[in-house]
Amino acid sequence: MKISKSVVLFVVLAAIVALPGCGKKDGSTSSKSSSIDETKPITEIKAEADKMSVDQLREMAIKYRDAIKDKNAQIDKVMAKLRDAGAGAAMTDEFKGIKEEIAALTTSVKALKQRFGVYYDKLMLSKADVSDLSLE
């Protein structure tokens, strides 16, 4: 039975995308601001957000939005490395490192999105304009 390289690459990429929550959380992001912390408990984030003005909420939401976009750009770069490595690299140490890097970045994005959501939801409750806070 002969399997094409593109089928193997597709299966490997699908596995990587399907396993994003399996990575270990490794601390706060190295974003532009030290106030961004992907490990801070959501309860603490909510408590802090309850005390913030709309402008402060927007500032934090923008910081998290930008950190999420930065991490997504990093994921795109790593995925490009994976595509460049080809199907034959599926069992190499380099592939394992790329897979771990993607898992860590995906876990980081998930944590950042959860924290972004706290600020975004507070802004929505305040009926503030959130049109500039798209994660796309």
Over the chain (136 residues), the average pLDDT of each successive run of 10 is 45 47 41 68 94 94 94 91 69 77 92 94 89 82
Residue 25 is predicted with a pLDDT of: 41
Q: pTM higher than 0.85, yes or no?
A: no
Residue 72 is predicted with a pLDDT of: 94
DSSP string for residues in the chain: ----HHHHHHHHHHHHHH-GGGSPP-S----S-TT--TTS-HHHHHHHHHT--HHHHHHHHHHHHHHHHHHHHHHHHHHHHHHHH-GGGTTSHHHHHHHHHHHHHHHHHHHHHHHHHHHHHHHHHTT---TT----
Residue 90 is predicted with a pLDDT of: 62
Residue 56 is predicted with a pLDDT of: 94
Residue 128 is predicted with a pLDDT of: 86
